[in-house]
């Protein structure tokens, strides 16, 4: 096999990932590694990219993705590579597809449909199930290859289902079952898992509104599995925590295991604006005591497209459970029921530490209707429609959806809409900019371009941070947390994961719907602005026009991490 020619990127404004001020430099790439960084480097037969007027940085490390299923049929893990992502961490929240026995494949897919907004038909057509254990899943990923580098958590819900079967969503585990789960986690860590991921969030429900398995775990189970993860002196414990899971308990897990704890999802709620800052204060206090806790925050406003046939934003409401697991006329009957409406209205009105939907009807817009007779409602908020009709907003919302046979597409601005508050979160010393959810909620939203948005909107336009710090937060900071010692910086000898961009225009483009999932199913996509090239381990995978038609499977499965 003939070696690739050297690559010389000449006269780029280099942001090296450390947070240092940029400087105009040449960068030479050889055999997938950065061979030299300097000025006036000789080409000597290298392929030359003239980067004058452009900036070069390490590739973005996306620490919160859900590509676990998609990567088994789509080695490009669209749309992330074209958006500057060169490394994706999969398995977040513990919603993985490995380990998985054949008996549990159907419920695993059905749970992903509910909790991650995926299509059952897409999953059935797409997933390659030629594995059962977590080590076998990693072997599958190695065989298939990927355009980007991958690091994989072993997921709590999958481990629980592997050991407990159908009981995983029904009851607490016995001591013997916890011991068996701990052994599964140990084996996954030995095979190269980046850590152990879980969720206790009440918004995370599986088929029919049944809580995802990890939500039934006792503190003793969570402790035992985190200890099993950390026994070898490496690994990150990641959890999407519910309000009932206090930060001091997470601090105790970090203290006992000696491992970092990644806390998601820290999002600003306009109806309880101080809650996220109380969590960040507790995380700061834990770090001051020598515990490594990191809060995952988002630089994007959390908005979702949805219909009442699949209403993810409200499915975390306890009162909505009657409407879950039913469809057709049965669902319509529930939505018409005055008692159901009264319960939903009362729950929304009650204070809560955290929930996705908080009755901010002025932030719920009618995006598209199916019935032309209802077209006059499009591009209007539910608050506006309700006021015009003299109705309660919940009544107007449900009545419109029912009149449109539940086909109305709504867009809800749920969280992170207060930019001054979000700016404070993004610059917090113990936060990690993350939460793209790439690979999930494909028909609802797409934040895979979060890194470009951080650089364009927050650094260039808002001036909340210097561009050099934005680059650091997307590259060397996550690399250090996960123990990825060979990437995240532009340094001689490190992996040549690189993003070439125009600082004056970098950002993410408007969302659009494409139909490229298995069976022609749709997903939301967003284009890159100002991106001129993306290289993974020295191989170009995207240019100014997006992902290359024949993008090489240049990514590596990352299985070795520093303590």
SS3 labels along 463-496: CCCCHHHHHHHHCHHHHHHHCCCCCCCCCCCCEC
Percent of the chain with pLDDT over 70: 99
How confident is residue 526, by pLDDT bands cut at 50, 70 and 90?
confident
How confident is residue 443, by pLDDT bands cut at 50, 70 and 90?
low
| pLDDT at residue 351, as a whole number | 83
Q: How does strand 498-501 pair with strand 55-58?
A: antiparallel
**Residue 1 pLDDT > 50, yes or no?**
no
Thinking of the domain 60-301+416-547, which architecture would CATH place it in? Alpha-Beta Barrel (3.20)
**Residue 157 pLDDT > 70, yes or no?**
yes
Strand segments, DSSP code E, in 281-408 are: 293-297, 302-306, 364-368
What is the rounded distance in angstroms from the CA atom of residue 421 to the CA atom of residue 120? 37
Domain boundaries, the chain: 60-301+416-547, 304-413
403 vs 114, more confident: 403
Task: Report residue 398 as tokens.
Answer: 């449900």
**Residue 524 pLDDT > 90, yes or no?**
no
Average model confidence (pLDDT) across the chain: 95
Q: How many helices, marked H, and strands, marked E, lie in the chain?
A: 16, 22
Q: HSE (CB half, 13 Å, CA atoms) of 184?
A: 27
**Residue 354 pLDDT > 80, yes or no?**
no
How confident is residue 563, by pLDDT bands cut at 50, 70 and 90?
confident
Q: What is the pLDDT of residues 244-297, one digit of tens each?
A: 899 999 999 999 999 999 999 999 988 889 999 999 999 999 999 999 999 999
**Residue 2 pLDDT > 70, yes or no?**
no
> For the ranges 192-196, 339-343, 350-354, 401-405, which has the lowest average pLDDT?
350-354
Mean pLDDT along residues 56-77: 97
Burial 83-97, CB ≥16 within 10 A → b, else e: bbbbbbbbbbbbbbb
Mean pLDDT along residues 398-423: 94
Q: How does strand 33-38 pair with strand 23-30?
A: antiparallel
> For the ranges 53-67, 122-136, 368-382, 505-519, which has the lowest average pLDDT?
505-519
């Amino acid at each position: 096999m003939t070696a690739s020619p050297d690559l010389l990127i000449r006269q780029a404004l280099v942001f090296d990932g450390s947070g240092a001020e940029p400087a105009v430099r040449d960068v030479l790439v050889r055999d997938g590694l950065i061979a030299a960084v300097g000025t006036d480097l000789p080409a000597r037969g290298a392929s030359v990219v003239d980067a004058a007027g452009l900036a070069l940085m390490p590739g973005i490390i996306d620490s919160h993705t859900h590509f676990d299923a998609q990567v088994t049929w789509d080695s490009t893990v669209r749309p992330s590579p074209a958006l500057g992502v060169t490394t994706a961490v999969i398995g977040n929240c513990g919603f993985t597809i490995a380990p998985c026995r054949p008996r549990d494949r159907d419920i695993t897919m059905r749970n992903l449909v509910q909790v991650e907004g995926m299509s059952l038909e897409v999953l059935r057509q797409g997933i390659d199930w030629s594995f059962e254990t977590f080590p076998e899943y990693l072997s599958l990923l190695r065989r298939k290859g990927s355009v980007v580098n991958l690091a994989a958590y072993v997921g709590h819900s999958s481990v629980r289902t592997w050991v407990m079967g159908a009981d995983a969503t029904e009851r607490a585990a016995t001591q013997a079952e916890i011991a068996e789960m701990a052994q599964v986690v140990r084996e996954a860590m030995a095979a190269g898992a980046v850590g152990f991921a879980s969720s206790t969030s009440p918004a995370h429900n599986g088929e029919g509104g049944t809580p995802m398995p990890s939500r039934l775990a006792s503190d003793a189970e969570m402790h035992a599995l985190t200890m099993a993860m950390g026994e070898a002196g490496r690994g990150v414990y990641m959890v999407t925590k519910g309000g009932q899971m206090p930060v001091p308990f997470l601090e105790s897990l970090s203290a006992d295991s000696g491992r970092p704890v990644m806390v998601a999802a820290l999002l600003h709620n306009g109806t309880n604006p101080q809650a996220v800052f109380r969590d960040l204060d507790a995380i700061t206090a834990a770090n001051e005591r020598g515990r490594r806790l990191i809060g995952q925050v988002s630089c994007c406003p959390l908005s979702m497209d949805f219909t009442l046939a699949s209403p993810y934003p409200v499915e975390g409401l306890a009162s909505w459970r009657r409407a879950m697991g039913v469809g057709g006329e049965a669902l319509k009957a529930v939505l018409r029921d005055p008692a159901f409406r009264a319960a939903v209205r009362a729950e929304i009105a009650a204070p809560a530490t955290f929930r996705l939907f908080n009755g901010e009807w002025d932030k719920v817009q009618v995006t598209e209707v199916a019935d032309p007779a209802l077209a006059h409602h499009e591009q209007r908020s539910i608050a506006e429609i309700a006021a015009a009709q003299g109705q309660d907003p919940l009544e107007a919302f449900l009545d419109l959806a029912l009149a449109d046979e539940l086909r109305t597409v709504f867009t809800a601005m749920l969280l992170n809409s207060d930019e001054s508050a979000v700016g404070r979160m993004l610059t917090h010393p113990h936060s990690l900019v993350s939460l793209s959810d790439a690979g999930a909620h494909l028909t609802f939203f797409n934040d895979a371009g979060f890194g470009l948005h951080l650089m364009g909107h927050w650094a260039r336009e808002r001036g909340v941070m210097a561009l050099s710090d934005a680059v650091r937060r997307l590259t060397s900071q996550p690399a250090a947390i996960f123990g990825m010692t060979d990437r995240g910086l532009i340094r001689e000898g490190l992996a040549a994961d690189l993003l070439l961009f125009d600082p004056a225009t970098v950002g993410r483009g408007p969302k659009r719907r494409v139909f490229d999932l298995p069976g022609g199913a749709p997903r939301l996509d967003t284009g890159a602005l100002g991106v001129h090239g993306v290289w993974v381990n020295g191989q170009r995978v995207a240019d100014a026009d997006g992902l290359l038609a024949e993008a090489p499977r240049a990514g590596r499965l990352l299985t070795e991490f520093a303590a």
